[in-house]
Amino acid sequence: MNIEKYISDAALAAATALYGEVTPAQIQLQKTRKEFEGDYTIVTFPLLKLSRKSPEATATELGERIVADNEAIGGFNVIKGFLNLSLNDSFWSERFEEIVANSRYGEAEPTGRNIMIEYSSPNTNKPLHLGHIRNNLLGYSVAQILSANGHNVIKANLVNDRGIHICKSMVAWLRYGNGATPESTGKKGDHLVGDYYVEFDKHYKSEIKDLVAGGMSEEEAKKQAPIMLEAQEMLRKWEAQDEEVRALWHKMNSWVYDGFDVTYKALGVDFDKIYYESQTYLLGKSLVEEGLAKGIFFRKEDGSVWIDLTADGLDQKLLLRGDGTSVYMTQDLGTALQRVKSESLDEIIYVVGNEQNYHFQVLKLVLKKLGYEWSDDIYHLSYGMVELPEGKMKSREGTVVDADDLVADMISTARDMSQELGKLDGCTSEEADAICSMVGLGALKYFILKVDPKKTMLFDPRESIDFNGNTGPFIQYTHARICSVLRKAEEQGIECVAHGTGSMLAEERELIKMLCDYPATVAAAGENFAPSIIAAYTYELCKAFNGYYHDHSILREENETTKKMRLTLAQQVARIIAKSMRLLGIDVPERM
């Protein structure tokens, strides 16, 4: 049941009976604030012209009429022009029975909409780092949430596997690698290749310094440094299909892909489609020709192709270089068109950092000018950077927080803190390993996803692994605590039942109300592409349950009906915790 619609309809019927013609827009409904008694509040000010009475008098007579006409609404109170309505226990008992009986509770019916969400999009010249972690966790979680909202979701990854940055690692490996391989060094392939990207930058800076010392300007030295000229020549050979360069490129990229797969598995993310820039970067050229023919684009004397967006408040944008090579925008235009056609997409969501806000603004505008109305269905899910207490990260200088190292550190820290608090007592070594992995990754994921994506965030590993407060481990421990109670009940032969709840404690009613909020929470998270909404809901649910559990016994309750109801309530709270955390890509333990 849609509770808010039920209340709105009841209020509309009562207001119409009292005042004549009332529109749905005049019924303003909101949840009652916690400091007041009631479940839902009707704001009566829009009705005053019709009632021709004071706010208090209008609210009172409306409340009396609603209670008289609806058995489920047990009472009301008036605070100035605000009518606070209270639903009775039998109403909440019926809602609770519906929740228990619905195995797909909170999951929307299929919408038929096809949505592609692109995330990760790594370069093959370095391993994944903390910034990639936020990207991957955000993309995967939004995909889970959109699936729960009934959409057909395609998780896509566009791998940036070509370009000068890739050639830099290749040149450095040829110069300084001495034939090193992942097997010979014992290093993950993405780490090995990343080492040579850092090595390139070190030697590049050294060569610039030497050239400047010889009398060359710094700007010219950057262009004339031998190692940079070598990388540029390698890129030209790559584009010319040079067999030797292509063979090295394939070999080093394969090392990186093997390394990425290990990291993706550790993070618990996956993809339905993987695209490679080397296969898509030429796709937009036909669109550029189309734009030239229509007079939307123009060609400069050097042969390069541009679009003038100054009339739209932007600037001129390069679409094709003078030598005919494509730029990122060329590729993205072609890739978007290919995807919409091949996958029959209704929407494309790009999970990309906020430094690319301008790029996606231009992408949508260019597609719109080319006549593709579906450009309105492109959404850039922009997110802020992740910073550490020590400051920002720089890949080429080797100062990044490596994703693999961070995951390992999180699991290690989770083990130390769990042992210290006795959370692993009685566990086998296999169970302890599984719990520590679950807690470490859960802490990392929750800490990142609870923050609004648009905000730059400061990541503190130790703060994230706290069994108290708004953290993943707190939520995981709440789930494990409930599972422990349910196991003991099963051992004692006590059944969980939802019916026959009778009168409720205020805390029980509040928990059921929170469970009723779950479908709307999932819908809101989907509408806003915001895992943080799920995180906030789950934390509040866990906090409410822990307060209830602290004050009221479940297994020692003497009344059998009440005991069974409380067990069922605990069972359903655990179920919704698990479903919510699954939307964040987080596993919850049954023992802890």
* Cα 283 from Cα 335, distance rounded (Å): 6
Task: Give just the sign of the alpha carbon dihedral 337, 339, 343, 347.
Answer: negative
Look at the chain and report how many structural domains it folds into: 3
In angstroms, the CA 498 to CA 567 distance is: 9
Residue 34 lies in a domain: yes
Beta-bridge partners for 388: 391
Backbone angles phi, psi at 591, to 5 degrees: -130, 145
With beta carbons less than 8 A apart as the criterion, state whether 121 and 159 touch: yes
Q: Is the confidence at residue 399, as pLDDT, over 60? A: no
Average pLDDT over residues 267-284: 91
Domain with 26 in it: what CATH number? 3.30.1360.70
Buried b (16+ CB within 10 A) or exposed e, 281-296: bebbbebbeebeeeeb
Does 210 fall in a domain? yes
Instruction: Return the residue matching tokens 């890949």.
Output: 395
User: What pLDDT sits at residue 398?
Assistant: 46
- Does residue 187 share a domain with residue 81? no
Give pLDDT, residue 504: 85
Q: How far is CA 405 from CA 1, 107, 113, 263, 402, in A?
A: 47, 36, 38, 10, 5
Q: What percent of the chain has pLDDT over 70?
A: 97
Query: What contacts 106, CB < 8 A, 6 or more positions away?
Result: 148, 518, 519, 522, 576, 579
* DSSP character at residue 25: G
What span, in angstroms and rounded, lies between the C-alpha atoms of 139 and 119?
5
CB 452 within 8 A of CB 568: no
* Judgement on whether residues 49 and 167 belong to the same structural domain of the protein: no
């023992």: which residue's tokens?
591
Which segment of 297-301, 408-412, 515-519, 536-540 scores lowest on mean pLDDT? 408-412
CA dihedral 224, 227, 228, 234 (to 10 degrees): 130
Instruction: Please check the confidence at residue 14 and state whether its pLDDT lies above 80.
Output: yes
d(CA 448, CA 589): 20
202 occurs within a structural domain: yes
For residue 19, the enclosing domain spans 3-87
Q: What is the pLDDT of residue 395?
A: 42
* Same domain? 179 vs 76: no
**pLDDT, mean of residues 399-427:** 85
Measured CA angle at 352 (ends 259, 238), to 5 deg: 55
Mean pLDDT is lowest, of 211-225, 316-330, 368-382, for 316-330
Crossing angle for the helix pair 506-516 and 531-551, to the nearest 10 degrees: 160
Q: Give the model's pLDDT for residue 279.
A: 87
- What are the tokens at 83? 């009518």
**Same domain for 74 and 203?**
no
- Work out the angle between the directed axes of helices 243-267 and 403-420 (0-180°, nearest 10): 20
Q: Are residues 81 and 167 in the same domain?
A: no
Which pair of tokens denotes residue 342?
A: 């091949």
Please say if the pLDDT value at position 6 is more than 90.
yes
What average pLDDT does the segment 461-477 reach?
88
Main-chain phi, psi angles of 282, to 5 degrees:
-95, -5
Whether 555 maps to a domain, the answer reads yes
pLDDT at 499: 57
**What pLDDT does residue 394 have?**
46
pTM greater than 0.85 (yes/no): yes
Rg, C-alpha atoms of the chain = 30
Predicted confidence (pLDDT) per residue in 132-153, tens digit: 999 999 999 999 999 999 999 9
Sorting pLDDT into bands at 50, 70 and 90, what band is 286? Answer: confident
For residue 455, give the CATH number of its domain.
Answer: 1.10.730.10
Select from 398, 410, 542, 407 the least CA-distant residue to 464: 410
CA distance 107 to 110: 9
Task: Assess if residue 329 is contained within a domain.
Answer: no
- Is 35 inside a domain boundary? yes
Closest CA to 294 of 372, 177, 182: 372
Do residues 451 and 579 share a domain? yes
pLDDT of residue 461: 75
Task: Taking residues 351-358, report their average pLDDT.
Answer: 94
The average confidence (pLDDT) of the chain is 92
* Cα separation values, 41 from 111, 143, 383, 507, Å: 31, 34, 35, 20
Q: What is the pLDDT of residues 106-119, one digit of tens each?
A: 999 999 999 999 99
Amino acid 25 reads A
Q: What is the mean pLDDT of residues 261-282?
A: 93
Task: Write down the pLDDT at residue 501.
Answer: 54
Rounded CA gap, 540 and 554, in Å?
20
- Select from 216, 251, 275 the last residue of a domain: 275
How far is the first Cα of the chain from the last one, in angstroms, to the nearest whole number?
A: 35
Beta strand extents in 395-548 (DSSP E only): 457-458
CA atoms of 496 and 99, how far apart (whole Å): 14
Q: What is the pLDDT of residues 203-259, one digit of tens each?
A: 999 999 999 999 999 999 999 999 999 999 999 999 899 999 999 999 999 999 999
Q: Would you state the pLDDT for residue 500?
A: 52
Q: Do strands 40-43 and 82-87 pair parallel, antiparallel, or not at all (unpaired)?
A: antiparallel
Q: Are residues 76 and 168 in the same domain?
A: no
In a domain, 532, yes or no: yes
592 falls in which pLDDT band (50, 70, 90)?
Answer: confident
Domain boundary, last residue among 227, 244, 275: 275
Report the DSSP beta bridge partners of residue 380: 350
Q: What per-residue confidence (pLDDT) applies to 425?
A: 84
559-587 per-position pLDDT tens digit: 888 999 999 999 999 999 999 999 999 99
**For 56-78, what is the mean pLDDT?**
96
CA torsion 433-434-436-439 (nearest 10°) is 180
User: Same domain, yes or no, for 70 and 183?
Assistant: no
Using the Cα atoms of residue 423, residue 426, residue 430 and residue 431 in order, give the sign of their dihedral: negative
Q: Which of 32-46, 360-374, 384-398, 481-495 has the lowest mean pLDDT?
A: 384-398
Mean pLDDT of all residues in 470-481: 95
Q: Are 381 and 351 in contact (CB under 8 A)?
A: yes
Name the more confident of 131 and 208: 208
H helix or E strand, kind and range, residue 349:
strand 347-353
Judge if 79 and 170 occupy the same domain: no
Q: Which comes out higher in pLDDT, residue 425 or 360?
A: 360
Question: Does residue 162 have a pLDDT over 80?
Answer: yes
Q: How sure is the predictor about 503, in pLDDT bands with cuts at 50, 70 and 90?
A: confident
**Residue 392 pLDDT > 90:** no
Give me the DSSP letters along 128-189.
Answer: -BHHHHHHHHHHHHHHHHHHHTT-EEEEEEEEB--SHHHHHHHHHHHHH-TT--HHHHT--H
Residue 396 clears pLDDT 70, i.e. is over it: no
Q: Is residue 65 part of a domain?
A: yes
